[in-house]
């Protein structure tokens, strides 16, 4: 396997790095402190194609591979983790619209989504259906040319600030086969948004509960066929796990670079703390683990791009490993800053706060372990690692 990047891939990464350092990084602390949703910065990202990275070109996107997209996301996360993470959620929802909606609905919504002129939220989690997504209860009942939607969703990123909701809901019987997906305009009558949750991190994106009360949605806004929603959701989550793992890697890379620069300058006992062997060993471990996590994520993205039958397992392994590793690298980087790492004047404490939630969302890391161990016990290690 060739681990080198093509000229095009290097250009994607360089473009994303320049944009993140110019548009995200200088504002990240203010967005976090004041809980500002950076809509204008996201619109600017759309001008570069970053709001529809792997959405089909026929629907206004760039049509990139998941590997190419991960190179971009990694650089964006170095500028601001929370904003990059929302951007990936928007990309997931936009790709679903571009792949599964009717031509008329794609024309009406997807081009604006892919350009960043409109923003999308993805609505799967419910108060009683988190890790057990197949048990969701929000229901859509057919009434002529419309569905009437009732129920609620929680922990929805961007809720109240976005234009479109891609909602997983029940149109049939219990279980995954009764779930469908709808595009719901975010300002539809009957939609109510809960309070903006006060969170430990990810403060640059709003998180709210959404309640649907007799919300009418045209049947033409359905994604795919009735009963196809759970398959669409799971397909989206494989890519979502790559996305959030990549956000962890990008943030960890930034934290490691900041810590490396700091230990060269910080002097104690007459020497730079970079001269102490304990510091050097810690930096060596952090870099080694970062490279291992990055390669695992890129391998999983490659498996997804090539439709490898083991792709879901690799996505779960990569998500578990990279989000755990990314958080630990940020934590170790904070330790190298000493007391300064705990002060908000420095970005290190924000890196730690923003990466912690990556171990929870897109399926908790314990759920990733369930997925991987189930595959291992069913098929054996040799089958998994092919």
CATH number at residue 168: 2.40.110.10
**pLDDT of res. 135:** 86
Domain limits at 332?
230-384
Establish if 294 belongs to a structural domain: yes
DSSP secondary structure letters along 129-174: BSS-GGG---EEEEETTEEEEEEEEEEEETTTT-SEEEEEEESSSS
386 pLDDT band, cuts 50/70/90, is low
Which residues are bridge partners to 147 per DSSP?
A: 142, 217
- How much is the average pLDDT of 144-169? 97
Pairing type for strands 164-170 and 120-123 reads: parallel
CATH number at residue 38: 1.10.540.10
Instruction: Calculate what percentage of the chain has a pLDDT beyond 70.
Output: 99
Considering its fold, how many domains does the chain have in total?
3
Q: CB neighbours of 127 closer than 8 A, spacing ≥ 6?
A: 152, 154
- Judged by DSSP in three states, 307 sits in coil
Q: What is the pLDDT of residues 87-112, one digit of tens each?
A: 999 999 999 999 999 999 999 999 99
**Does 197 lie in the same domain as 53?**
no
Q: In whole angstroms, what is the distance from residue 316 CA to residue 301 CA?
A: 11
Establish if 1 belongs to a structural domain: no
Pairing type for strands 164-170 and 179-185 reads: antiparallel
Establish if 191 belongs to a structural domain: yes
Residue from 74, 126, 332, 362 carrying the catalytic annotation: 362
**CA-based end-to-end distance of the chain:** 13
pLDDT surpasses 80 at 1: no
Q: Is 107 a catalytic residue?
A: no
- Judged by DSSP in three states, 339 sits in helix
Q: What is the pLDDT of residues 265-318, one digit of tens each?
A: 988 898 999 999 999 999 999 999 999 999 999 999 999 999 999 999 999 999
**Does 354 lie in the same domain as 242?**
yes
Question: What are residue 146's phi and psi, to 5 degrees?
Answer: -125, 160
Of 85, 119, 153, which closes a domain? Answer: 119
Contact in structure between 61 and 94 (CB atoms under 8 Å):
yes
**Does 128 lie in the same domain as 255?**
no
């Amino acid at each position: 396997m060739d681990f080198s990047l093509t000229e095009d891939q290097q250009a994607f990464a360089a473009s994303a790095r320049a944009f993140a350092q110019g548009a995200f990084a200088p504002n990240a602390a203010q967005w976090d402190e004041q809980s500002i949703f950076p809509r204008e910065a996201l619109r600017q990202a759309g001008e570069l194609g970053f709001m529809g990275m792997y959405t089909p070109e026929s629907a206004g996107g760039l049509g990139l591979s998941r590997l190419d997209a991960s190179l971009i996301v990694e650089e964006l996360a170095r500028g601001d983790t929370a904003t990059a993470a929302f951007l990936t959620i928007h990309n997931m929802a936009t790709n679903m619209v571009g792949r599964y909606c009717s031509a008329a609905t794609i024309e009406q919504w997807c081009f604006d989504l892919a350009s960043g002129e409109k923003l999308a939220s993805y609505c799967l989690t419910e108060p009683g259906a988190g890790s057990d997504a197949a048990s969701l209860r929000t229901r859509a009942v057919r009434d002529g040319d419309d569905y009437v939607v009732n129920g609620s969703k929680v922990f929805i990123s961007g809720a109240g600030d976005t234009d479109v909701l891609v909602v997983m809901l029940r149109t049939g019987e219990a279980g995954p086969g009764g779930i469908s997906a709808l595009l719901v305009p975010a300002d539809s009558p009957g939609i109510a948004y809960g309070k903006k949750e006060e969170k430990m991190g990810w403060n640059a994106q709003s998180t709210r509960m959404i309640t649907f009360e007799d919300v009418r949605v045209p049947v033409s806004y359905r994604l795919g066929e009735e009963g196809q929603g759970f398959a669409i959701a799971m397909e989206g989550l494989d890519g979502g796990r790559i996305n959030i793992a990549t956000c962890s890697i990008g943030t960890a890379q930034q934290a490691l670079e900041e810590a490396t620069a700091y230990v060269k300058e910080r002097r104690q006992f007459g020497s730079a703390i970079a001269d102490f062997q304990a510091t050097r060993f810690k930096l060596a471990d952090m870099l080694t683990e970062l490279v291992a996590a990055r390669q695992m994520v890129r391998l999983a993205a490659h498996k997804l791009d090539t439709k490898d039958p083991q792709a879901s397992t690799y996505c779960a392994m990569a998500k578990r490993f990279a989000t755990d590793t990314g958080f630990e690298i940020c934590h170790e980087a904070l330790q190298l800053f000493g007391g300064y790492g705990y002060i908000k004047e420095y970005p290190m404490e924000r890196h730690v706060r923003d990466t912690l939630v990556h171990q929870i969302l897109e399926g908790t890391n314990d759920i990733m372990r369930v997925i991987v161990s189930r595959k291992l016990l069913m098929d054996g290690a040799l089958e998994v690692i092919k």
